[in-house]
């Protein structure tokens, strides 16, 4: 879209003005607190996209440097250690899952309430993407990835993935019950509204049907993409940002989004930080639709602010999980169910794999 090509100077001018109007007291106190903010990030292409869309523009606008600290995928133990030791190693975390947030709140007093509910830009974020301790800044999803050069009529959903007669070919699946059991139930005809709590027995019966046709059980998304781009498999459920990146490099991959399974990457502030107001201002800056769009144009992490789609081309929207048609048939991973049942189901799943 033409308005996404405005100069960087005009962008910053608009952003500074918008932020100042939205939260002048936060803006002023944030400037007074610090010239540096340490933010936990996940690393990889997503972190690089966040650097360009969030960190560098924020520093240009405020003079405050964002220092990314790469960590494990779900750094619950690290956050506990930082808060308990009062080391203040990180001020806040980005790209934390709802499950990690829930675990930290359950286990103790490790996070601060952000107090941003009444800010205009926060009200733009649907309530399903936020709570009093965390606000979502991105959405990832698991659709079905398939090779375009292998099917005259492409698979459209998880039933097709399990239909080896109509859609012959080699499959791979995630070596983890999370997502995998949901997929098995969708393939068996369960509607999204009836998915949780998972019917575990029914899910394993469904998996029994596909198991002989699964050539590989992947343990990392990089492995999954290698399998399908190398032609070792023809279909695989995997997080959408990975096949999207591969397709941009020329791999013959496409995505089927019906009943995609999605989750939220969230901002949260660690207890003990000396830079609470700066954290709040940084979060407000990143939640703006134009900032989130700048991430989504680089990697297939979808915005939580619907206004971001004003700055994203219709073509690019087709690879983003919060595209309205995809949200209509998708479902959020139920972290509450998995928190209560993960260990028992994982034990059963691992034994099932060996049987």
- DSSP per residue over 117-174, as a string? TTSHHHHTS-GGGB-SSEEEEEEEEEEEEEEGGG-SS---SHHHHH-TTTS-S-EEEE
Question: pLDDT at position 111, please?
Answer: 99
Residues 225, 338, single domain; the answer is yes
Counting every residue written for the chain, the total comes to 355
Separation between Cα atoms, residue 235 and residue 150, nearest integer Å? 9
pLDDT score for 151: 96
Whether 197 and 306 map to the same domain: the answer is: no
**34 with 155, same domain?**
no
Q: Does 101 share its domain with 53?
A: yes
Helices (H), 163-234: 177-187, 200-210, 221-229
Instruction: Tokens for 24, please give them.
Output: 């002048």
Report helix, strand or coil for 215.
strand
Q: Are residues 310 and 341 in the same domain?
A: no
**What is the helix (H) or strand (E) element at residue 266, kind and residue range?**
strand 253-270
Shared domain check, 32 and 106: yes
Number of domains in the chain: 2
What confidence score (pLDDT) does residue 9 get?
A: 30
Partners of 236 in the β-ladder:
145
C-alpha 47, offset from chain centre: 12
Cα–Cα distances (Å) from 256 to 164, 307, 335, in that order, read 16, 24, 24
Look at residue 13 in the predicted model and tell me its pLDDT: 35
Reported as a single tens digit per residue, the pLDDT across 139-155 is 999 999 999 999 999 99
> Do 100 and 220 lie in a common domain?
no
**Average pLDDT value over all residues in the chain:** 91
Token pair recorded at residue 164: 């080896």
292 with 150, same domain?
A: no
- Residue 129 has a pLDDT of 96
Nearest to 232 by CA among 216, 253, 254: 216
Beta bridge mates, 319: none
Q: Are residues 127 and 29 in the same domain?
A: yes
Return the CATH number at 9.
3.40.190.10
Which pLDDT score is estimated for 17? 39
pLDDT on residue 290? 98
Domain range spanning residue 111? 2-139+264-321
The string of pLDDT tens digits covering residues 226-264 is 999 999 999 999 999 999 999 999 999 999 999 999 999
Are 189 and 317 found together in one domain? no
Shared domain for 235 and 272, answered yes or no, is no
Are residues 344 and 207 part of one domain?
A: yes
pLDDT beneath 50, residues of the chain? 1-25, 27-32
Other CB atoms within a 10 A radius of the CB of residue 260 amount to 23
The DSSP letter of residue 238 is -
Of 296, 302, 259, 315, which Cα lies nearest the Cα of 143? 259
How many other C-beta atoms can be found within 10 angstroms of the C-beta atom of residue 128? 11
- Residue 33, pLDDT score: 56
């Amino acid at each position: 879209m033409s308005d996404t090509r405005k100069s960087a100077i005009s962008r910053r001018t608009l952003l500074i003005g918008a932020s100042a109007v939205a939260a002048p007291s936060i803006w002023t106190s944030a400037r007074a607190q610090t010239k540096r903010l340490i933010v936990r990030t996940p690393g990889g292409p997503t972190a690089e996209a966040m650097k360009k869309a969030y960190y560098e523009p924020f520093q240009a606008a405020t003079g405050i440097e964002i220092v990314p600290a790469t960590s494990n995928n779900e750094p619950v133990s690290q956050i506990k250690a930082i808060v308990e030791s009062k080391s203040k190693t990180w001020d806040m975390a980005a790209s934390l899952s709802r499950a990690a947030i829930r675990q930290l709140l359950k286990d103790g007093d490790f996070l601060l309430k952000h107090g941003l509910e009444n800010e205009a830009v926060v009200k733009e974020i649907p309530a399903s993407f936020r709570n009093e301790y965390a606000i979502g800044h991105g959405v990832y999803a698991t659709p079905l990835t398939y090779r375009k050069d292998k099917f005259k009529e492409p698979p459209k959903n998880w039933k097709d993935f399990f239909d080896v007669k109509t859609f012959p070919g080699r499959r791979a699946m995630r070596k983890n019950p999370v997502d995998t059991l949901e997929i098995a139930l969708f393939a068996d005809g369960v509607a999204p509204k009836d998915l949780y709590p998972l019917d575990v027995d029914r899910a394993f019966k469904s998996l029994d049907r596909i198991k002989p046709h699964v050539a590989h059980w992947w343990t990392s998304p990089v492995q999954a993409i290698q399998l399908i781009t190398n032609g070792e498999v023809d279909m695989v459920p995997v997080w959408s940002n990975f096949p999207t990146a591969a397709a941009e490099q020329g791999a013959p991959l496409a995505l089927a989004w019906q009943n995609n399974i999605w989750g939220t990457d969230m901002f949260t502030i660690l207890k003990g930080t000396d830079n609470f107001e700066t954290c709040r201002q940084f979060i407000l800056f990143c939640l703006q639709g134009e900032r989130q769009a700048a991430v989504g144009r680089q990697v297939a992490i979808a915005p939580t602010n619907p206004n971001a789609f004003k700055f994203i081309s219709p073509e690019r929207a087709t690879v983003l999980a919060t595209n309205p048609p995809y949200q209509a048939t998708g479902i959020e991973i139920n972290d509450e169910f998995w928190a209560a049942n993960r260990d028992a189901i994982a034990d059963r799943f691992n034994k099932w794999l060996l049987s």
